[in-house]
Amino acid sequence: MTRADASSLRPTDPLDAVRADTPGCRDVVFLDSAGSSLAPEPVVEAQIRHLRRETEVGGYLAAAERVDDLAAVKVSLGRLLGTTSESIALTDSATRAWNDFLAAVPLGPGDRVLLSQVEYSSNAIAALSRGRAVGASVEFVPGEPSGRLDLAALDAMLDERVRLVSIVHAPTNSGLLNPVREAAALAHRHGALVLLDACQSMGQVALDVHELDVDALSATGRKWLRGPRGTGLLYVRPELRLEPAAPDMRGAAWTASDTYATVPDATRFELWESDIAARLGLGAAADYLLDLGVDAVAAAVGERAEYLRAGLDDIPGVTVRDPAPPRSGIVSFTVDGVEPDAVRERLRALDVVVTVSVRGSTLLDMTARGLDSVVRASAHYFCSEADLDTFLSAVRRLR
């Protein structure tokens, strides 16, 4: 089946249906869902419909008409995480969610925050900044050679001064999946809170915050969830009554000249102003995923990643940089004699979209593994086998 055939087929099976909803995948082989995926039509439609309505009646009335739908966005996201809508705050990015949770964790001089080898740069910067401001230390748990969190090392570093352990579920620069549940159990034994960065797992891996036993989780809309840019979310364990560092009139009510009352649910982490169209789009993305079924999506993503790794392994001069299973849908590799940037540009000229993960994004992991940058190919369920073969033959021709 050629790509042209695939795009002209009527949506009779799930792949044809999702491809029909994803116009971009007819024109390019899109392998960057770990960066910013192609949103399906219902997501874009939800956004455009709301933007048009705002032009007719103004943003306030348009939002008032969609109060129930906006509440449903959090219900859908909650279903994806195995939790209630009350434990979810909508944010404008995963970074905002991660930072806002960190800022709410009481930290003082001598307290410790543990991050991992594959920590994302923005998280590390925020932690270092807060640590500097309050006199807390920020330390990194060494990884195994693959970058995977070393549980024994974590165990050895934990003590009663550790307030927070950050775990990156799937890093941005390799197909690694970290052992979240095991790490959370160790952290909790010492009374530390656990914050999970699920940016690269939500939307491609089934998640359940109770099973994973994390206290908070941050995720973004635009990656594997296929939502709009400028969207993200924060899950906070309902029993955890942490106060946001900077609530506004959505997260709190001004009750007297010297006080305010924070709202009890996770809404306290939201700000009053937001991009309503984008949030409705995020809800449409969550519903789209729920309709497909997270397990089916996870299986499809896993299959595609393994197909790519096996194909790349067969190409002389190409090195796959992913660890042993369990793995995410991110496939990272290098090509002997061709810089990752050049690989990306030459593939782009052939209508194949991949991206490059640079050292600074995951500084410690790239340094530990002796890598400066890697090419990242991330195939979502809407990629066809023909797409993957087009990519592999393009890589074969690089050298």
Ligand X SMILES: *Cc1c(COP(=O)(O)O)cnc(C)c1O
Q: Strands 330-335 and 318-320: what pairing?
A: antiparallel
By CB under 6 A, the count of residues binding ligand X is: 13
From 141-149, 185-193, 195-203, 390-398, give the range in contact with ligand X by CB under 6 A. 195-203
Residue 352 engages ligand X in binding (rule: CB under 6 A):
no
Dihedrals phi, psi of 216, to nearest 5 degrees: -155, 160
Residue number with CB closer to ligand X (66 or 222): 222
Residue number with CB closer to ligand X (122 or 262): 122
From 24-32, 89-97, 140-148, 153-161, give the range in contact with ligand X by CB under 6 A. 89-97
Could you count the other beta carbons within 10 Å of the beta carbon of residue 249?
Answer: 11
- CA 361 to centroid of chain Cα atoms: 14
Does residue 128 contact residue 155 with C-beta atoms inside 8 Å? no
Least gap, CB of 173 to ligand X (angstroms): 8
Instruction: Give CA–CA dist 76/294, Å, rounded.
Output: 12
Residue 244: name the closest of 57, 100, 372 by CA.
100
Euclidean distance between the first and final Cα of the chain, in Å?
27
Least gap, CB of 369 to ligand X (angstroms): 16
Least gap, CB of 234 to ligand X (angstroms): 11
Question: 89, 138, 176, 199: which one contacts ligand X (CB under 6 A)?
Answer: 199
Burial of 345 (0-12, 13-18, 19+ CB in 10 A): exposed
Does residue 93 contact residue 279 with C-beta atoms inside 8 Å? no
Burial of 98 (0-12, 13-18, 19+ CB in 10 A): buried
Residue 200 engages ligand X in binding (rule: CB under 6 A):
yes
Residue 94 engages ligand X in binding (rule: CB under 6 A):
yes
Residue with the two structure tokens 């359940």: 208
From 127-135, 159-167, 193-201, 249-257, give the range in contact with ligand X by CB under 6 A. 193-201
Residue number with CB closer to ligand X (37 or 95): 95
Least gap, CB of 184 to ligand X (angstroms): 17
- List the interface residues with ligand X, window 158-177 (CB under 6 A): 168, 171-172
140's CB contacts (< 8 A; 6+ apart) are 114, 115, 116, 117, 119, 364
Question: 76, 87, 220, 378: which one contacts ligand X (CB under 6 A)?
Answer: 220
Question: 22, 47, 87, 93: which one contacts ligand X (CB under 6 A)?
Answer: 93
Question: 101, 120, 381, 382: which one contacts ligand X (CB under 6 A)?
Answer: 120
Residue 382 engages ligand X in binding (rule: CB under 6 A):
no
Instruction: Give CA–CA dist 241/104, Å, rounded.
Output: 10
Instruction: Give CA–CA dist 177/329, Å, rounded.
Output: 10
Instruction: Give CA–CA dist 157/155, Å, rounded.
Output: 6
Residue 95 engages ligand X in binding (rule: CB under 6 A):
yes
Least gap, CB of 337 to ligand X (angstroms): 28
From 51-59, 79-87, 196-204, 345-353, give the range in contact with ligand X by CB under 6 A. 196-204
Interacting residue ranges for ligand X, rule: CB under 6 A: 93-95, 120, 122, 168, 171-172, 197, 199-200, 220, 232
